[in-house]
Structure 1
Amino acid sequence: MDRTIVYPGAIPLDTDILNLNRNVMVAIGALNEAVLGGGMVADGLACTPTVPASLTVTVAPGSITQLGPVDANSYGSLPQDTAQQTVRMGINLDPVTFTLAAPASSGQSVNYLIEATFSEADADPVVLPYVNAADPSVPYSGPGNSGGAQNTQRLQRVQLQVKPGAAAAAGTQVTPPVDAGWVGLYVVTVNYGQSAITAADIVTLPQAPFLPFKLPQLRPGFSQMQVFESSGSFVVPPGVTQAKVTVVGGGGAAGYHVSMPGAGGGAGGTAIDIVTGLVPGQVVAVTVGAGGVAPTSPASGGNGGTSSFGSYMSATGGTGGEGGSGSLFATAGGAGGIGSGARIIQGGAMGGDGIVVASRGGDGGGPGHGRGASGPLAGLSATGFGGGGGGGGASTGAAPVGSPGGAGAPGIVIVEY
Structure 2
Amino acid sequence: MDRAIVYAGSIPLDTDILRAGRYTKAAFGNLASMLYGPNVMAASGLGYSASSSDLSLTVEAGSILAPGVMDASSLGGNGGGLAADTTALTCQYISTTSQTVTLPGSGNTYTVYAVCSEQDADPTVLPFFNASNPSQTQAGIQNDGGALPVRRAGVISLVAAANPPSAPTGGCVVALYTIAVPQGANSLSGVTVQPGQVFWPTIPELATQALLKACTEPMTLVTVNGSVSVPAWASRVELRVIGGGGGGAASQSMTTAGAFSGAGGGGGGDAWGIYAVSPTQGNGLAITVGSGGGSEQTGGTSLVSYNGQTLLQAEGGQGGTFYSTTGSAGGVGGNASGGTIWNQSGTSGGDGQCNAYTFSGYGGDGPWGGAGRCGNQGGRLATRYGAGGGGSYSATAEGVSSSGGTGFQGCVLYRFLP
Q: TM-score of the superposition, structure 2-length normalised?
A: 0.49
Structure with greater strand percent? 2
**Structure with max Cα Rg:** 2
Q: TM-score of the superposition, structure 1-length normalised?
A: 0.49
